[in-house]
């Protein structure tokens, strides 16, 4: 399979007979989750860049990138080379907060990166925030759990936490307490106490979530902490956590003045500001971190997905001085994933993929806006930053039909929010691949309109 010439190719209706066989085999004992039942990735079959193959030989163009966790596409040679070398060593995961693992005698001449090297690489790309400490974990939701633990132990107060309407921060119990995107994520699970949800202002009008007015025109967070009329004193608040761009909640992009006000309020009162960059970070928006677009400086960033491990990154003063406050069996100890994460950062730098994300994102968004004008009865909004892009439909059934038509034509997409489709091509996507996707999108919109 050659990336420069391959095209999506679907032989018949999906799923094909072999894919059906795999789906039935998997679902026999697998717990109910969020499986896409029309696509099965065959790991033995050819795949390159955004192209992959299913067990029936169908070729797909993947603009979901495994929910942003595959930022360089399939089978990038630099990443597969590292994984092959480290896969020969067992265990590939080890007790990383109990034992430090080396690769060779000298860390400065090591032939392969270790979690120790990933620490330094993450500090490089967060130097603009003055960060100097990292804790690695298995996943993004664990990065969030550790971030709020840092804030709780640093503040040692009543433990109020501010989250925002539409938020999604993960699926472990503490992270679930912060979610406000779908009630199914949280219903019937016990919650961390004292979590307060505030409006997330992503609208473009003058009076919306940011400008609520029970006591004059002030942001909800300022009203909540107002010395005379507020309900909570700043000294009671342990943290504020916010997605610079909301992911699962619908790819909502905040008004710059809103998110700057949140950051200014946090810094004014010394409240740790946590930016959840698990989906939006690692170059996806054309900058290393989406919060950079808004000129804010968080105290902690949580990373994951594209990094292949979870990471809680911040200033040393926020991290505990005592033993036993942070740790886990697999924390800091995923050798292959940490090396791949390190190499991913290096490749993004070497191949100027921040610039490519900006350039290709502008191309993609401009063409999606043309389709908005072509299909005004279907599409209500197009929005994005870099290669973190979305189309919002008039109704949820329209959105779902559109995704179905796209996958039947070989374009893999995922929904988010209630009636939104997200687009997450690899960071090295080409104009040729963007245009192929746009052709399929146009055809799928036409078929959706016909219904």
Mean pLDDT of 323-332: 90
Per-residue model confidence as pLDDT tens digits over 166-191: 999 999 999 999 999 888 888 888 99
Per-residue model confidence as pLDDT tens digits over 98-119: 999 999 999 999 999 999 999 9
pLDDT at 345: 98
pLDDT at 187: 83
Mean pLDDT of 421-430: 98
All domains of the chain in start order, with CATH: 17-75+354-450 (3.90.1150.10), 83-350 (3.40.640.10)
* Confidence grade of residue 214 (pLDDT, cut at 50, 70, 90): very low
Per-residue model confidence as pLDDT tens digits over 55-99: 999 999 999 999 999 999 999 999 999 999 999 999 999 999 999
Query: In degrees to the nearest 10, what's the CA dihedral of 68, 69, 72, 73?
Result: -90
pLDDT at 72: 98
Separation CA 90–CA 137 (nearest Å) = 19
Q: How far is CA 181 from CA 61, 146, 166, 168, 247, in A?
A: 28, 21, 4, 6, 9
Q: Residue 202 pLDDT more than 80?
A: no
Per-residue model confidence as pLDDT tens digits over 237-290: 999 999 999 999 999 999 999 999 999 999 999 999 999 999 999 999 999 999
pLDDT at 390: 98
pLDDT at 182: 84
Separation CA 161–CA 147 (nearest Å) = 12
The rounded percent of the chain whose pLDDT value lies above 90 is 90
Q: What is the mean pLDDT of the chain?
A: 94
Q: How far is CA 111 from CA 103, 216, 339, in A?
A: 7, 61, 11
pLDDT at 213: 44
Beta bridge partners of 392: 381, 420
Q: pTM of the full predicted structure?
A: 0.95
Q: Residue 212 pLDDT more than 70?
A: no
Per-residue model confidence as pLDDT tens digits over 277-291: 999 999 999 999 999
Radius of gyration of the chain from Cα atoms? Answer: 22
Mean pLDDT of 386-413: 98
Q: Residue 369 pLDDT more than 90?
A: yes
């Amino acid at each position: 399979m050659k990336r420069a010439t391959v095209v999506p190719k679907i032989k018949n209706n999906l799923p094909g007979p072999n894919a059906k066989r795999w789906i039935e085999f998997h679902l026999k004992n697998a717990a109910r989750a969020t499986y896409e039942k029309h696509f099965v990735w065959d790991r033995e079959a050819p795949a390159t860049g955004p192209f992959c193959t299913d067990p029936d030989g169908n070729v797909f163009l993947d603009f979901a990138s495994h929910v942003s966790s595959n930022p360089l596409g399939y089978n990038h040679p630099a990443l597969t080379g590292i994984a092959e070398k480290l896969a020969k060593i067992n265990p590939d995961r080890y007790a990383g907060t109990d034992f430090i693992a080396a690769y060779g005698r000298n860390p400065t001449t090591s032939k392969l990166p270790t979690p120790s090297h990933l620490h330094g690489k993450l500090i490089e790309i967060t130097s603009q925030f003055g960060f100097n400490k990292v804790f690695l974990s298995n996943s993004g939701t664990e990065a969030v759990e550790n971030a709020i633990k840092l804030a709780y132990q640093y503040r040692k107060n009543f433990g109020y936490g501010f989250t925002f309407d539409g938020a999604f921060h993960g699926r472990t119990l503490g992270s679930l307490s912060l979610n406000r995107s779908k009630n199914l994520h949280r219903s019937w699970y016990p919650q961390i106490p004292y979590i307060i949800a505030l409006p997330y202002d992503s609208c473009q009008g003058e009076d919306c979530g940011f400008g609520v007015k029970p006591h004059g025109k002030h942001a909800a967070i300022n009203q909540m902490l107002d010395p005379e009329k507020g309900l909570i004193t700043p000294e009671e608040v342990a943290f504020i956590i916010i997605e610079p761009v909301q992911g699962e909640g619908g790819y909502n992009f905040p008004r710059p003045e809103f998110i700057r006000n949140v950051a200014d309020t946090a810094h004014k009162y010394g409240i740790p500001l946590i930016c959840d960059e698990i989906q939006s970070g690692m170059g996806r928006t054309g900058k290393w971190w989406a919060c950079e677009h808004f000129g804010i400086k968080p105290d902690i960033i949580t990373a994951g997905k594209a990094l292949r491990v979870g990471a809680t990154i911040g200033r040393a003063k926020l991290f505990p001085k005592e033993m036993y406050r942070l740790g886990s069996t697999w924390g800091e100890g995923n050798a292959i994933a940490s090396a791949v994460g390190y190499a991913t950062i290096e490749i993004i730098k070497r191949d100027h993929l921040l610039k490519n994300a900006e350039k290709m994102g502008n191309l993609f968004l401009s063409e999606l806006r043309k389709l908005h004008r072509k299909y005004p009865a279907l599409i209500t909004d197009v929005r994005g930053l870099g290669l973190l892009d979305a189309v919002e439909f008039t109704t949820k059934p329209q959105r779902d039909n559109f995704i179905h038509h796209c996958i039947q034509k070989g374009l893999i997409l995922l929904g988010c929010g209630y009636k939104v489709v997200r687009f997450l091509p690899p960071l090295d996507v080409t104009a040729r691949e963007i245009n192929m996707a746009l052709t399929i999108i146009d055809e799928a919109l036409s078929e959706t309109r016909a219904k």
